């Protein structure tokens, strides 16, 4: 018999334990034997083995210990944890739904003529008394959906997007999608796969706007979330093309030239290669932004008309980018960023010259393919002169120098990186050389996602020997 409570149990020898295990192999249904073996394991500090034996002892363990089996205790703990998690999620869901409803109601107070229906699960319906409006070019190109970008964690930006949705004159069947991208330090990180956050839909037959929070884990909206994800990916690619087209048009006009009718007119042989080449996608994007630019022209002198047209073009709500492309060089982190306002599109690793690389602002004043007649020479396959100086952004035949201060002052890039940059930025692009301004994480597309144009012939310059400060 087992010892009575409070009495010390006799210690078994290894021989005794071996005998009991052998006995149980022949008598696996003897619950008392399982209990006794478990007690010995427990006293020797082997709790895992003890619990296994106690579970096999079943009711014998319960009778002597007056407590549930170890496995029942674990199961109960798991159930309690799951119940706590269920209550937490329910509370959080109700809180989110309540906050969402309060937010929309507050917005409606600011917007005369509106009324809201009670939330239906995670959906909220808002009635606005505004006449239907025509679709914007962006909505027509994206299947009737207007996309709005916010940074992850930017609650104020999200609230502004909601306010614009409610203020907007809507057409029956129109949709607004709020999508978000991650942020890194002060930058919003551009992605071709934005995360859907919210979908606002107006029924074809008219009626209240339905708000569907796509980012909520409990939202029963898989079909809508997938549709917005796919549409947002196409919107992101098209927005990037429009940014490049707008930037090239802006740089061209600011040089005192008239806006050309076609993109290809800017993609000529050296030295008239404001842009490096062309493609069907960029030609289409340029046609769209050129129309917006020309529609924005008012009266006055040529300079004022151009300034007004450019200002209106960059204020177009259909695009997430509100400023031309710039290049930012970070001397501390050896990074070169392609940015528009606070949005970071690319972040390349580069080689520099330490104190020999000057801080300051420059512009790309010249672009050349295969400097000094070679794609494998010291300057690689591409070069971009900075403000008619001996400083340049160019390739290198010393890839191990990337990430280091080994140049005489120029900015060295790897071949794929400098060729993509060459295609993205026009002559006239601003270059700012600073320190500690870019994130450390690289932001470079996969090879198939690189931005590429069909290169215009004769962009080399055989009549000149380049002596950049490599």
Please check the confidence at residue 178 and state whether its pLDDT lies above 80: yes
**Helix, coil or strand: residue 184:** strand
* Residue whose structure tokens are 């991208």: 181
Question: Catalytic site residues?
Answer: 394, 410
> Residue 173's pLDDT band (boundaries 50, 70, 90)?
confident
Are 371 and 466 a contacting pair, CB within 8 Å?
A: yes
Which residue shows structure tokens 């940074």?
151
CA–CA gap between residue 357 and residue 431 (Å, rounded): 13
**Confidence band of 168 (pLDDT split at 50, 70, 90):** confident
| Residue 72 pLDDT | 81
How far is the C-alpha of 92 from the C-alpha of 328, rounded, in Å? 42
| Candidate from 119-128, 144-153, 385-394, 424-433 with smallest mean pLDDT | 119-128
Three-class secondary structure of residue 33 per DSSP: helix
Is the pTM higher than 0.75? The answer reads: no
If DSSP codes are grouped into helix, strand and coil, which group holds residue 240? helix
pLDDT digits (tens, 9 = 90+) for 90-114: 665 555 555 555 555 555 444 444 4
User: What is the CB neighbour count within 10 angstroms for residue 74?
Assistant: 13
Cβ neighbours of 458 (radius 10 Å): 12
Average pLDDT of the residues in 1-5 = 47
Pairwise CA distance, residues 253 & 308, whole Å: 12
**∠337-342-343 over CA atoms, to 5°?**
60
Tell me: the pLDDT tens digits for 291-335? Answer: 999 998 878 888 889 999 999 999 988 899 999 999 999 999 999
Phi-psi bin for 143: left (phi > 0), alpha (psi -120 to 50), beta?
left
User: Tens digits of per-residue pLDDT, 48-89?
Assistant: 888 888 888 888 888 888 888 888 877 777 777 777 777 776
Strand partners, 388: none
What's the pLDDT score for residue 205?
67
38 confidence band (pLDDT: 50, 70, 90):
confident
The average pLDDT across 195-219 equals 80
pLDDT score for 170: 65
């Amino acid at each position: 018999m087992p010892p009575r409570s409070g009495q010390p149990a006799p210690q078994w020898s290894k021989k005794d334990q071996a005998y009991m295990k052998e006995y149980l192999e022949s008598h696996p249904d003897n619950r008392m034997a399982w209990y006794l073996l478990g007690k010995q394991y427990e006293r020797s500090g082997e709790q895992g083995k003890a619990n296994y034996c106690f579970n096999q002892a079943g009711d014998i363990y319960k009778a002597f210990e007056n407590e549930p089996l170890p496995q029942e205790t674990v199961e109960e703990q798991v159930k309690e944890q799951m119940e706590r998690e269920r209550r937490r999620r329910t509370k959080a869901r109700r809180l989110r739904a309540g906050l969402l409803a309060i937010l929309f109601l507050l917005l409606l107070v600011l917007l005369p003529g509106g009324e809201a229906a009670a939330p239906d699960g995670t959906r909220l319906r808002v009635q606005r008394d505004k006449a239907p409006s025509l679709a914007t070019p962006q909505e027509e190109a994206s299947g009737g959906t207007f996309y709005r970008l916010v940074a992850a964690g930017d609650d104020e930006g999200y609230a502004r997007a909601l306010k614009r949705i409610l203020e907007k004159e809507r057409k029956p069947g129109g949709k607004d999608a709020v999508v978000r991208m991650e942020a890194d330090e002060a930058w919003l990180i551009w992605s071709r796969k934005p995360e859907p956050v919210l979908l606002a839909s107006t029924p074809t037959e008219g009626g209240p706007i339905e708000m569907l929070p796509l980012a909520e884990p409990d939202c029963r909206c898989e079909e809508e979330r997938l549709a917005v994800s796919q549409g947002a990916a196409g919107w992101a690619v098209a927005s990037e093309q429009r940014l490049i087209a707008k930037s090239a048009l802006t740089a061209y006009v600011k040089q005192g030239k008239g806006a050309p009718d076609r993109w290809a007119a800017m993609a000529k042989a050296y030295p008239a290669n404001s842009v490096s080449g062309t493609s069907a996608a960029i030609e289409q994007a340029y046609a769209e932004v050129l129309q917006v630019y020309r529609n924005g022209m008012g009266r006055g002198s040529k300079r004022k008309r151009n300034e007004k047209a450019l200002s209106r073009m960059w204020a177009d709500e259909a695009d997430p980018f509100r400023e031309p492309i710039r290049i930012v060089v970070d001397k501390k982190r050896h990074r070169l960023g392609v940015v528009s306002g606070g949005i970071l599109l690319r972040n390349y690793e580069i080689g520099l010259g330490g104190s020999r690389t000057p801080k300051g602002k420059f512009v790309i004043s010249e672009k050349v393919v295969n400097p000094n007649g070679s794609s494998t020479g010291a300057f690689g396959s591409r070069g971009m002169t900075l403000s008619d100086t001996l400083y340049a952004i160019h390739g290198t035949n010393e890839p191990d120098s990337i990430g280091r201060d080994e140049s005489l002052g120029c900015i060295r890039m790897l071949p794929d990186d400098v060729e993509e940059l060459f295609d993205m930025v026009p002559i006239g692009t601003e270059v700012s050389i600073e320190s500690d301004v870019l994130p450390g994480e690289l932001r470079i597309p996969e090879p198939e996602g690189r931005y590429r144009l069909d290169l215009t012939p004769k962009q080399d310059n055989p009549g000149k020997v380049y002596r950049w400060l490599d």
